[in-house]
Amino acid sequence: RVRSVTRFIYNQEEFAHFDSDLGKFLAVTELGQPIAEDLNSQKDVLDNYRASVDRCRNNYALVDWFMLKLKAEPQVTVYPTKTQPLDHHNLLVCSVSSFYPGHIEVRWFRNGQEEKAG
């Protein structure tokens, strides 16, 4: 579902907006009432804003298709830490960054066997 909402803001306050679900401009404040009425009386303006939903839907489909093809391999860094007071390397830390898509699963293996936490 694609929805288009265009907000009109003055002095950090929204006074009107276009809601594609309703297909018209709505006043949010008193200042927005005459503006929403004026915009709703202009057929060409309404047609243009209503058509924006279809443009957004088409653009979204293109971006969605492209993003499905886009993948970035993670950058992985594994390093030992020292714990006090023994000052021995006895804990490994794994840092994984710069990957897409966002879901990733990190697992530890020793001699081909998966290590469990702890």
More confident: 57 or 23: 23
Kindly state whether residues 22 and 59 are assigned to the same domain.
yes
Res. 89: pLDDT tops 60: no
- 99-116 per-position pLDDT tens digit: 766 777 888 888 888 888
CATH for 25: 3.10.320.10
Q: What domain range is 34 assigned to?
A: 5-69
Res. 87: pLDDT tops 80: no
- 76 neighbors 47 (Cβ within 8 angstroms): no
As for how many domains the chain has, the answer is 2
Kindly state whether residues 20 and 65 are assigned to the same domain.
yes
Kindly state whether residues 58 and 13 are assigned to the same domain.
yes
Kindly state whether residues 11 and 63 are assigned to the same domain.
yes
Kindly state whether residues 9 and 26 are assigned to the same domain.
yes
- 77 neighbors 94 (Cβ within 8 angstroms): yes
Distance CA 51, CA 56 (A): 9
- 3-54 per-position pLDDT tens digit: 888 999 999 999 999 999 999 999 999 999 999 999 999 999 999 999 988 8
